[in-house]
C-alpha cells in the first residue's frame, strides 16, 4: 500500500468525507502493517505509539485473571478500531491487556503525534474516534455485565449459540471456550458434560456439536437489547 493510498478509508465510512487537507494528513502519515497469525499486537505495560485501523483479519483482545484464566474482552475485525488503544493515546498511558492476531491481519497505523494533531484539528475525525469508542465501550460493558451477573450455564449456552451461528458443529477446545466466557477450563468442561447428559450437545476431541439449540436458547435467556 502506498503511503498516500486512501482506498482503505472505504472500511471507515465516517472518514470518507474528510476534507482534502485532513485526508492528506491521515493518509500521508499512516503506514501499512502486516501481522501473521499468532502475533502479539500489544501487551500489558507496553507503551502505545500508534492508532490502528484494521483492514483485514481478526484480533483477540483479552485479559488474564489472578489464576491465569483468559477472558476475551472483544475482537477487532475489518473496519474496527481498538478502545484500549484510544484510551492509551488519550491518557498518554500504557496498555492494560493483551491483543493477539487470530489470523493474518492487515492494518494501517497512524503515529501518535499525527493522531493527536487530527483529533485536535478535525471535527469529523474526532467524531469518528469518539463514536467508535462509545460503541466498543458498550460491547465491553456487556462483557462485564455477563461475567458479573450471568450464570456460567447462561453464558456458556449463549456463547455456544453465537459461535455456532448457522452451523451445528464447532471446532473449539474447552480452554478456548472458557476464555470466551471468562471462566476456568475445568468449570466449562463440567458444564459441557451436563449439557451433553441433557442431550443439548455432543462432545468429541476439540469439537462440540449443538444438538438442541432450543434448549440452549432457553438456558441462555433473553438476548441483549
Which domains, and CATH codes, for the chain?
7-148 (2.60.120.10), 151-220 (1.10.10.10)
Q: What is the mean pLDDT of the chain?
A: 90
Q: Kindly provide the residue ranges of all beta strands, DSSP E only, lying in 123-175, ordered along the sequence.
A: 169-170
**Whole-number Å distance between alpha carbons of 172 and 164:** 10
Q: What is the pLDDT of residue 136?
A: 83
Q: Kindly provide the residue ranges of all beta strands, DSSP E only, lying in 47-93, ordered along the sequence.
A: 50-56, 59-64, 70-76
Closest CA to 213 of 153, 155, 167, 152: 167
Q: What is the pLDDT of residues 145-180, one digit of tens each?
A: 777 778 899 999 998 998 887 777 899 999 999 988
Q: What is the pLDDT of residue 1?
A: 45
Q: Kindly provide the residue ranges of all beta strands, DSSP E only, lying in 3-160, ordered along the sequence.
A: 31-35, 40-42, 50-56, 59-64, 70-76, 98-101, 105-111
Q: How far is CA 199 from the centre of its chain?
A: 31
Q: What is the pLDDT of residue 87?
A: 93
How far, in Å, are 28, 58, 73, 90 from residue 12 at the CA level?
Answer: 17, 16, 22, 20
Provide the whole-model pTM.
Answer: 0.76
**Whole-number Å distance between alpha carbons of 166 and 150:** 24
Q: What is the pLDDT of residue 218?
A: 92
Instruction: Give the mean model confidence (pLDDT) for residues 192-216.
Output: 93
Q: What is the pLDDT of residue 3?
A: 46
- CB-based burial of residue 75 (10 Å sphere; 0-12 exposed, 13-18 middle, 19+ buried)? middle
Instruction: Give the mean model confidence (pLDDT) for residues 79-93.
Output: 93
pLDDT confidence bin for 25, thresholds 50/70/90 = very high
Q: What is the pLDDT of residue 165?
A: 79
The answer to whether residue 211 scores a pLDDT higher than 70 is yes
Instruction: Give the mean model confidence (pLDDT) for residues 78-84.
Output: 94
Percentage of the chain modeled with pLDDT above 90: 70
**Whole-number Å distance between alpha carbons of 172 and 203:** 11
Amino acid at each position: 500500500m502506498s503511503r498516500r493510498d486512501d482506498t482503505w478509508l472505504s472500511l471507515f465510512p465516517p472518514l470518507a468525507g474528510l476534507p482534502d487537507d485532513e485526508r492528506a494528513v491521515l493518509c500521508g502519515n499512516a503506514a501499512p502493517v502486516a501481522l501473521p497469525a499468532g502475533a502479539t499486537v500489544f501487551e500489558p505495560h507496553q507503551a502505545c505509539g500508534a492508532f490502528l485501523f484494521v483492514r483485514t483479519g481478526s484480533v483477540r483482545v483479552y485479559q488474564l485473571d489472578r489464576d491465569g484464566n483468559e477472558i476475551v474482552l472483544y475482537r477487532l475485525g475489518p473496519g474496527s478500531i481498538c478502545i484500549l488503544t484510544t484510551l492509551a493515546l488519550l491518557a498518554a498511558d500504557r496498555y492494560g491487556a493483551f491483543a493477539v492476531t487470530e489470523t493474518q491481519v492487515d492494518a494501517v497505523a497512524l503515529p501518535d503525534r499525527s493522531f493527536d494533531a487530527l483529533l485536535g484539528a478535525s471535527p469529523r475525525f474526532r467524531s469518528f474516534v469518539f463514536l467508535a469508542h462509545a460503541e466498543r465501550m458498550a460491547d465491553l460493558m456487556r462483557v462485564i455485565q455477563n461475567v458479573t451477573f450471568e450464570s456460567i450455564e447462561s453464558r456458556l449456552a449463549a456463547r455456544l449459540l453465537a459461535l455456532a451461528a448457522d452451523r451445528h458443529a464447532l471446532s473449539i477446545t474447552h480452554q478456548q471456550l472458557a476464555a470466551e466466557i471468562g471462566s476456568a477450563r475445568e468449570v466449562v468442561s463440567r458444564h459441557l458434560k451436563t449439557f451433553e447428559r441433557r442431550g443439548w450437545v455432543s462432545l468429541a476431541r476439540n469439537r462440540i456439536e449443538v444438538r438442541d439449540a432450543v434448549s440452549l436458547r432457553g438456558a441462555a435467556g433473553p438476548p441483549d437489547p
